[in-house]
């Protein structure tokens, strides 16, 4: 039986070992909700005061959203799988001196990562995606997690986005910060 040919989601010809920021999404197999559980708070619903939202600067809106989320909004509790993923993410810098995780969130069936390649020690890397630092990082993370899980829980492919400037970086940062608050509207929610 011949396997189907899959179209690469990667930017053709781009060197994924190039210093810069990248937004990575890793999903569980069949998008199983096994990494965390999100429970909705009681009391003030998230989004109260939307009519005032337009009057506040974006940074104030984010601070207010986070304050309500922590006090009374959805709470994200990691499962044993999520705790292992969290621990592995925290030690990944021991294996990759030139990759820094700036921000991440572990959701029920996926993980969002904002990472930076900070230095390649003068090595140019290769534009072949399977040999890129990003691919190596993702592969190592999944392998370490799976070793502790005793099985593979990850979808074989990951999604990546090359961060293009300060505005893009800040938008992704805010998206990760507010992902738990918006869980019921997330594209992965009904999966």
How far are the Cα atoms of 13, 17, 31, 115 from residue 118, in angstroms, in the given order? 20, 10, 31, 9
Among 53, 59, 82, 50, CA closest to 180: 82
Residue 184 has pLDDT above 70, yes or no: yes
pTM for this entry: 0.73
Q: List pLDDT tens digits, range 73-125.
A: 789 999 999 999 999 999 997 888 889 999 999 999 999 999 999 875 555 44
pLDDT averaged over the chain?
78
With a pLDDT cut of 90, the percent of the chain lying above it is 46
Does the domain at 20-37+50-185 match CATH 3.30.70.1290? Answer given as yes
């Amino acid at each position: 039986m011949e396997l189907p040919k899959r179209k690469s989601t990667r930017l053709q010809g781009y060197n994924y070992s190039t210093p810069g920021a990248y937004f990575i999404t890793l999903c569980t197999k069949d998008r199983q909700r096994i990494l965390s559980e999100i429970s909705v708070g009681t009391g003030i619903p998230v989004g109260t005061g939307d009519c005032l939202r337009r009057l506040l600067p974006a940074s104030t809106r984010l601070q207010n959203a986070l304050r309500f989320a922590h006090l009374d909004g959805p709470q994200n509790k990691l499962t044993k799988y999520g705790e292992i993923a969290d621990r592995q993410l925290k030690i990944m810098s021991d294996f990759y001196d030139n990759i820094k995780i700036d921000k991440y969130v572990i959701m029920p069936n996926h993980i969002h990562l904002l990472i930076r390649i900070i230095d390649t020690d003068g090595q140019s890397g290769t534009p072949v995606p399977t040999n890129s630092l990003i691919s190596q990082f993702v592969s190592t993370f999944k392998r370490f997690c799976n070793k502790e899980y005793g099985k593979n829980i990850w979808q074989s492919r990951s999604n990546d986005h090359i961060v293009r400037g300060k505005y893009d970086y800040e938008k992704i940062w805010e998206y990760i910060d507010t992902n738990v608050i918006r869980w019921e509207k997330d594209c992965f929610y009904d999966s």
